[in-house]
Amino acid sequence: MVSYEIRCIECGQVHETDRPAYACSSCGDLLEAVIDEDEAAQLLEENEYDSRPLSVWRYREAIPVEEETRVVSLMEGGTPLIRCRRLEEELGVKNLWIKFEGTNPTGSFKDRGMTVGVTKALELGMKVVTCASTGNTSASLAAYAALADLDCVVLIPEGKIALGKLAQAMMHGADVLAIKGNFDQAMDLVMRASDDLGMYVLNSVNPFRIEGQKTAAYEICDQLGGTTPEVLYIPVGNGGNSSAYWKGFKEYDTMDMVSGCPSIRGVQADGAAPIAAMFEENSTELTPVETPDTVATAIRIGNPANWTKTVRALRESGGAAFSVPDEEILEAQKFMARLEGIFPEPAGAAALAGLMRDLEEDLVDRSSLIVCVSTGHGLKDPDTAISQSVRPRAIDPTMEALSRVLGGPKE
């Protein structure tokens, strides 16, 4: 296994790795796994990682999990990076790709983090795993906990998660608790309960989740034939995934697998945009949004747990966070579905909505290599999709009726 330390991102304090830790015991800031990149690169090459199929575990030597630990996997990662020619034409850009994370086993990018996080839960001998969730984290954790034979308790905001995600968590046998409050309150409760009730927290404050999610950045570079994107658009909720991508790109660069890193543009929804507000106001402190609201329920978060990490990542990358209105998210969702055959959930269209906004404001070079990350599948949230589509027309089962509605023979 690669050498690594669990370190505080602010004061650098090193924490023990044989027990759960989610925050610095000295200063309270977030923790991260710092791997020895040179060693990881050497191990990856020695083991001919590039002959393995694309997947999270293709990069096993760069993931801090003991060699003898049983890996809990549903074959996550290896998601398509799709060149979007019709969107390129429509938007007037030259080199646009969508990384479609909705094709992961439970339909979102969370599976990359969960395969590593639940594997770590086994390594640490935990019996119960838990999370607060706007939907996808709970769906993913429930599936991996089932496979690992662990008890799973998920806290969701009552009435505010998309139906498909709720169905997943229930079907996989999690204990689903609906909090009479929002995600931020559920998150707060999970963090307070974890120690007392002996549950392993698998929200993205868990540094091992990020170790799984960083592989998406490695994977994009490999799919582009050893090149990094110039600009990457990504939705931001709690801020775990955007910081994971930045970690992945930086590590891959340090390992000499590629040269350079993209600037990362984090996209929030107007009604839940505390990190975007920090960039707009050039502030160093987060002001939580008390009652966040957006059609993109996955990112309906007012007090992002990872804000320090993601603000640092976006700034270091030369990027920023900004926000877009719900109408633009829904428009981007339709664009993806109708021009490219890709069906994302609303949050999974936020990155494209961000690109479209940047193009309008002339903030991005139209010839650059652009990747938009589409984080979750549209089937998760059928209600939103149906509510903005034309309803099926009911007709009699006759040729005459069919011909009438179609307006005669087609060309």
Among 104, 108, 194, 206, binds ligand F0G (CB under 6 A): 108
**Contact residue for ligand F0G among 40, 298, 311, 355 (CB under 6 A):** 298
Report d(CA 180, CA 371) in Å as an integer.
37
Please spell the DSSP secondary structure of 42-76, one letter per residue: HHHHHTTGGGSPSSGGGGGGGS---TTSPP--S--
Task: Using CA atoms of 118, 122, 126, 128 in order, give the dihedral in degrees to the nearest 10.
Answer: 40
Out of 299, 329, 336, 342, the only residue in the binding site for ligand F0G (CB under 6 A) is: 299
Q: Is 134 in the site for ligand F0G (CB under 6 A)?
A: yes
Asked if residue 345 binds ligand F0G (CB under 6 A), the reply is yes
Would you give the binding string for ligand F0G spanning residues 234-263, x where CB under 6 A is met?
-xxxxxxxx---------------------
Residue 133 binding ligand F0G, by CB under 6 A:
yes
Residue 79 binding ligand F0G, by CB under 6 A? no
Q: For residue 365, which of 216, 208, 229 has the smallest C-alpha distance? A: 229
The C-alpha angle 72, 31, 223, rounded to 5 degrees, equals: 55
Q: Rounded to whole angstroms, how far apart are CA atoms 165 and 345?
A: 11
Q: Does 384 bind ligand F0G (CB under 6 A)?
A: no
Reduced to 3 states (helix: H, G, I; strand: E, B; else coil), residue 5 is strand
Taking contact as CB under 6 A, which single stretch among the options 73-81, 115-123, 132-140, 320-328 is the one that binds ligand F0G?
132-140
Q: Which is nearer to ligand F0G, 299 or 329 (CB)?
A: 299
Q: Indicate whether 204 belongs to the interface with ligand F0G (CB under 6 A).
A: yes
Which residues have C-beta within 8 Å of that of residue 74, sequence separation ≥ 6? 105, 106, 111, 115, 143, 144, 147
d(CA 137, CA 240): 12
Q: How far is the CB of 139 from ligand F0G (least distance, A)?
A: 8
Phi and psi angles of residue 373, each rounded to the nearest 5 degrees, phi first:
-95, 120
Give the Cα separation of 150 and 148 in Å (integer): 6
244 vs 261 by CB, closer to ligand F0G: 244
As measured in angstroms, the least distance from the Cβ of 133 to ligand F0G is 3
Q: Which stretch binds ligand F0G (CB under 6 A): 26-34, 171-179, 345-353, 387-395?
A: 345-353
| By CB under 6 A, residue 271 contacts ligand F0G | no
Residues at the interface with ligand F0G (CB under 6 A)? 108, 133-137, 204, 235-242, 298-299, 345, 347-348, 375-376
